[in-house]
Chain A
Amino acid sequence: MTPATILGIGAAIIVSIALYGVVTASSLLRRIVALNLLGGGIFLLFGVIARRGAAAGFESDPVPQALVITGIVVAFAGTALAVALVVRLEQARNESPDADGERLDGADAP
């Protein structure tokens, strides 16, 4: 077994654990953490692909690493947005615990 194979299997295990977490987690924060883990597993797989040298047999292909950097930025932005929404959700629920019934169209005020 080469290191790339071992890491590849590791990536598969991380992805499946994370997927289980995303589907079954009950709290929003856990679900966001699981999504991050899923991203981590996928980035590891990109690393393995880079190590194997997918394109034209380079020793270690730089393209997947460039993709991972972009992917990390996107995952960070997504996590920040999700956490910000969770915080706002808590605030909104605490401010008006009874007012989330009739607001769907926004036009009725009270």
Chain B
Amino acid sequence: MNIDASTWLVAALVVPPIGAMLAFVFGGRAAPRIALATSLAGVGISGALLWTLVRTGEPLVVRVGGWMPPLGITLRADGLAGLLMMASSLIVLAVAMSAGAEPSLRSPRPGVMFWVLLQAVAGALVAAFISSDLFSFYVALELLTFAAVPLVSLQGSAKTIDAALRYLLFALLGSLAYLLGVGIVYGLFGALDLGELSIRIAAAPERSSLLGAALALMIVGLLAKTALFPLHLWLPPAHAGAPPPASALLSALVVKGSYLIMVRLWFDLAPGSMPQGAAMFVGALGAGAILFGSAMALQQARLKMIIAYSTLAQLGYLFLLFPLARGDTFEAAFAGASLQAVSHAFAKSAMFLGAGLLAARFGSDRLDSLRGAMRAMPLTVAAIVMAGLSLVGLPPSGGFWAKWLLLTAAVESGQWWWSITMLLGSALAVGYIWRVLSAMMEPGEQGPPDAVPLRSSVPGRAFRAAELAALGLALISLLLGLFAFVPVEVIGIGRAGGDALGGVAP
């Protein structure tokens, strides 16, 4: 049984890069087929992995090549990693299903590159989710960056290349700051593996101030990569400029890779010893992101810019985890933030895919050009609305439970001020989702409801498949709330180990 389980972990890591290379070599019409096959395989592998986790209730650990730390590399999938792998493989599959309807990806060159990069992103995400040593995190982060940056500039216009460059420079600076921190940590403790390190850190408390400096470097680097306000400058142009299926990947998944690594550093490296002041500071930045991102989303004229700024705001909720996860409220806050990461991923990818279909049909994603969308493309509009409900946090969506758990943690830990920010954020989200909805409900003078896309060469079948993919993602984000207890249970797997649940010392 053990052999089977570890095979899944290795397969999850190996299949996407093999697919990426095959797609690059064969290109042309083979590329989409290879990508679809590997994304289907990805869903199967993550499903098997998640099933094993739930059945055994224990994290999966593979020591690559049988080498033990400190020399060997350990792959480790806990419940949170399994859940994120499941979410990301489903989203990658939906993106692969819907990319055929994106006009800008139908020309050969950006087309093939998209299919290669899609699998590269999928593989890099798995690497980020299941790594468990500081240097593998670095490699995974860089793989993710190098796969994500070219996605931004696929269209090749000066504006998108500019956005890609800005993204790359931010990301490189972030990962160099992270690497410098890794070097200092290794110099202090002589280990890289998270488990080994946490033992050595606990044994040498006199080095904690230097460790603090190294962690500060690493965390600032990760914040730049996750685009936490005010290090967000690269995100809106990059996410709004990419072709919509690529935007879905970037906004839903890529930013979660660096976030998960930050969570692991914060809670696993030196459990219970992160200073509350730092947690408050990161939480305040998250609160700033919620307010600023939502306010900016309210003012945008383009649907994709609204969605990109909404990503900024929704990422803010994730960072409320750090001040709230202490003592008694640790579990509620941790479950809330993890659920927020997953439900935002589904909702945001559905929205971007839907926005791409609207733009393909109406020739632009400006709100004032979307008149008549409700009548012409009811399925797509339904997907966007359902995803919007999850972003606002209305029951029974996954977003509702995520925000509810975070609110509970805020009230119970006596930090009521965070709950005001969360409620304001939801109110502002109602505002920007309502703007999108009312623009789509305006009666238009467009053609008959079942006409093929007005301004594109996309075959109707590809368009239909894309609509269904977006709708599926939106349904998952909406219905996640009905089964919220399942992910909440899964998140706990592999976290129950004594100290890890100790929370943050005051």
A residues lining the B interface (CB < 8 Å): 15, 22, 28, 31-32, 35, 38-39, 42, 45-46, 48-49, 52, 54-56, 61, 63-64, 67, 70-71, 74, 77-78, 81-82, 85-86, 88-89, 92-93, 96, 99-101, 103-108
CB neighbours (8 Å) of A35 from chain B are 169, 172-173, 176
From known contacts A92-B157, A106-B104, A107-B364, infer whether A78 and B183 are also in contact, taking CB-CB under 8 Å: no
B159 pairs with A103, CB closer than 8 A = yes
B169 pairs with A107, CB closer than 8 A = no
Q: Is residue B103 within 8 Å, beta carbon to beta carbon, of the partner chain?
A: yes
Q: Which residue of B lies closest to A19 (CB)?
A: B173
Contact flags B230-267 to A (C-beta < 8 A → 1, else 0): 00000000001101000000000000000000000000
Q: Is residue B359 within 8 Å, beta carbon to beta carbon, of the partner chain?
A: yes
CB neighbours (8 Å) of A42 from chain B are 176, 179-180, 183
Q: In the complex the two chains form, what is the Cα distance from A26 to B193 in whole Å?
A: 39
B183 pairs with A49, CB closer than 8 A = yes
A81 pairs with B176, CB closer than 8 A = no
- The distance from the CB of B203 to the nearest CB of chain A, in whole angstroms, is 14
B residues lining the A interface (CB < 8 Å): 70, 103-104, 135, 138-139, 142, 145-146, 149-150, 153, 155-162, 164-165, 168-169, 172-173, 176, 179-180, 182-184, 186-192, 240-241, 243, 302, 304-305, 359-360, 363-365, 455-456
Q: In the complex the two chains form, what is the Cα distance from A62 to B90 in whole Å?
A: 41
Complex partner residue of B304 from A61, A100, A105, CB under 8 angstroms: A105
CB neighbours (8 Å) of A77 from chain B are 142, 146
A107 pairs with B360, CB closer than 8 A = yes
Question: 4 extra interchain contacts, Cβ-Cβ under 8 A, other than A67-B186, A77-B146, A105-B364?
Answer: A15-B180, A54-B189, A81-B149, A105-B304
CB neighbours (8 Å) of A100 from chain B are 157-159, 162
- The distance from the CB of A70 to the nearest CB of chain B, in whole angstroms, is 7
From known contacts A39-B176, A92-B156, infer whether A85 and B146 are also in contact, taking CB-CB under 8 Å: no
B180 pairs with A45, CB closer than 8 A = yes
A104 pairs with B304, CB closer than 8 A = yes
B190 pairs with A55, CB closer than 8 A = yes
Q: Which residue of A lies closest to B103 (CB)?
A: A107
CB neighbours (8 Å) of A106 from chain B are 103-104, 155, 157, 160, 243, 359
A63 pairs with B158, CB closer than 8 A = no
Q: Which residue of B lies closest to A104 (CB)?
A: B241
What are 23 A-to-B residue pairs whose CB atoms are below 8 Å? Answer: A22-B173, A35-B169, A39-B176, A46-B183, A48-B187, A49-B186, A52-B187, A54-B186, A55-B190, A63-B186, A67-B135, A67-B182, A74-B138, A77-B146, A78-B146, A81-B149, A88-B153, A88-B156, A96-B157, A99-B158, A104-B159, A104-B302, A106-B104
- The distance from the CB of B162 to the nearest CB of chain A, in whole angstroms, is 6
Complex partner residue of A104 from B103, B145, B184, B240, CB under 8 angstroms: B240
**8 A-B pairs with least C-beta separation:** A55-B190, A49-B187, A92-B158, A100-B158, A107-B359, A103-B157, A54-B190, A89-B161
Most A C-beta atoms less than 10 A away, residue of B156, B179, B364: B179
- The distance from the CB of B212 to the nearest CB of chain A, in whole angstroms, is 18
CB neighbours (8 Å) of B138 from chain A are 74
Q: Which residue of A lies closest to B154 (CB)?
A: A106
Prevailing SS type, chain A contact patch: helix
B157 pairs with A99, CB closer than 8 A = yes
- The distance from the CB of A49 to the nearest CB of chain B, in whole angstroms, is 4
Query: How many residue pairs bridge A and B at CB < 8 Å?
Result: 133
- The distance from the CB of B364 to the nearest CB of chain A, in whole angstroms, is 5
- The distance from the CB of B308 to the nearest CB of chain A, in whole angstroms, is 10
B153 pairs with A85, CB closer than 8 A = yes
Q: In the complex the two chains form, what is the Cα distance from A63 to B184 in whole Å?
A: 13
Q: In the complex the two chains form, what is the Cα distance from A93 to B161 in whole Å?
A: 10
- The distance from the CB of B242 to the nearest CB of chain A, in whole angstroms, is 9
CB neighbours (8 Å) of A103 from chain B are 155, 157, 159-160
Q: In the complex the two chains form, what is the Cα distance from A45 to B320 in whole Å?
A: 34
- The distance from the CB of A11 to the nearest CB of chain B, in whole angstroms, is 9
CB neighbours (8 Å) of B135 from chain A are 67, 70
Q: Which residue of A lies closest to B150 (CB)?
A: A81
Q: In the complex the two chains form, what is the Cα distance from A107 to B305 in whole Å?
A: 14
- The distance from the CB of A69 to the nearest CB of chain B, in whole angstroms, is 12
Q: Which residue of B lies closest to A18 (CB)?
A: B176
- The distance from the CB of B207 to the nearest CB of chain A, in whole angstroms, is 12
Q: In the complex the two chains form, what is the Cα distance from A52 to B161 in whole Å?
A: 43
A85 pairs with B164, CB closer than 8 A = yes
Q: In the complex the two chains form, what is the Cα distance from A59 to B157 in whole Å?
A: 53
CB neighbours (8 Å) of B304 from chain A are 104-105
CB neighbours (8 Å) of B168 from chain A are 78, 81-82, 85
From known contacts A49-B186, A99-B157, infer whether A70 and B139 are also in contact, taking CB-CB under 8 Å: yes
CB neighbours (8 Å) of B190 from chain A are 54-56, 61
- The distance from the CB of B188 to the nearest CB of chain A, in whole angstroms, is 8
Q: In the complex the two chains form, what is the Cα distance from A63 to B186 in whole Å?
A: 9
Q: In the complex the two chains form, what is the Cα distance from A71 to B162 in whole Å?
A: 26
Q: Which residue of A lies closest to B165 (CB)?
A: A85
- The distance from the CB of B224 to the nearest CB of chain A, in whole angstroms, is 12
CB neighbours (8 Å) of B183 from chain A are 42, 45-46, 49, 64, 67
From known contacts A35-B173, A107-B360, infer whether A81 and B159 are also in contact, taking CB-CB under 8 Å: no
